[in-house]
Structure 1
Amino acid sequence: MKTKKQARQAKGSATLVAQKSEEAMIAGILEGSPDGIGVAVIRLDCGCRKMAAVDKNGDPASKVIIYRDQAESICDQCKADNGAFVRVKEEFIHWVEPAPEEATRQMIMAKVLGTRPTH
């Protein structure tokens, strides 16, 4: 049986995809964002999620939405810090098909989600 740390490390190496509970929100964001070619999905350690559509240049194509599944509102911590970066658990971009070419995806991901040190 895997420990929580091993499970997290395994998840980190796999490609992240939208969960069923996120798909409806992604569809709604894209419906209201005609320039959107993807949706940035940021999962926070509290269970809340931040999402926003991005355009072909990596610029925002919608407002940032913070929500929590099965809840009327976001948690108190997100209300206080607006989903601070230090609490990010997982992040990825859900691309509209056909997805842009790899170089474009990498440029947009770096612009939207930032880059990570390699050492």
Structure 2
Amino acid sequence: MAATKKKTQRSPEQGEKAMIAGILEGSPEAVGVAVIRLSCGCRKMAAVSLAGEPASKIIMYRDQAESVCAQCKQDNGDYMRVTEQFISWKEPEPDEKTRRTISAKVLGTTEDLPN
């Protein structure tokens, strides 16, 4: 009896997790990776340091595509098309206050931060 092969479907989130792991591996000083998802399906990512500074180059990609979309090629992923942004923290995560401070610096969070 012949074994049937299932075609494995890879979700965009799986690709994103793999990219995050690769960025962290190449950025030993990183405490996390800033992830910016765009309405077109492209993503921008960069490692961030404990000081909230870039710890890698910005990587822009579209999952399972050879390059980013035509719109991103033109406007470099304009912030007006951002649908979601967050930091994927490396284990062990920094404390809550540090995470909030870094997030505000990196992503421009508009939340009120405690003094």
Q: Distance in 2 between matches of 1:117 and 1:40?
A: 17
Runs of 4 or more above 6 Å deviation = none
Q: Which of 76, 82, 101 lines up with 1:107 in the alignment? A: 101
Count, aligned residues: 101
TM-score (norm 1): 0.81
How high is the sequence identity, in percent, across the aligned residues?
Answer: 66
Cα drift, residue 117 of structure 1: 6.6
Gap runs ≥5 in structure 1? 1-17
**Which residue in the other structure is 2:25 paired with?**
31
Match of 2:51, SS state, is: coil
Deviation at 1:92, TM superposition (A): 0.4
TM-score normalised according to structure 2 size: 0.84
Question: Which AA in structure 2 matches 1:40?
Answer: A
Residues 12-91 of structure 1 aligned to structure 2 (within 5 Å): 19-91=13-85
Shift of 1:20: 1.7
Q: Encode CA deviations 1:23-74: one digit per residue, 9 max, x unaligned.
A: 1101111111110110000000000000000000000000000000110000
Distance 2:103 2:65 in 1: 29
Structure having the larger proportion of residues in helix: 1
Q: Larger Rg: 1 or 2?
A: 2
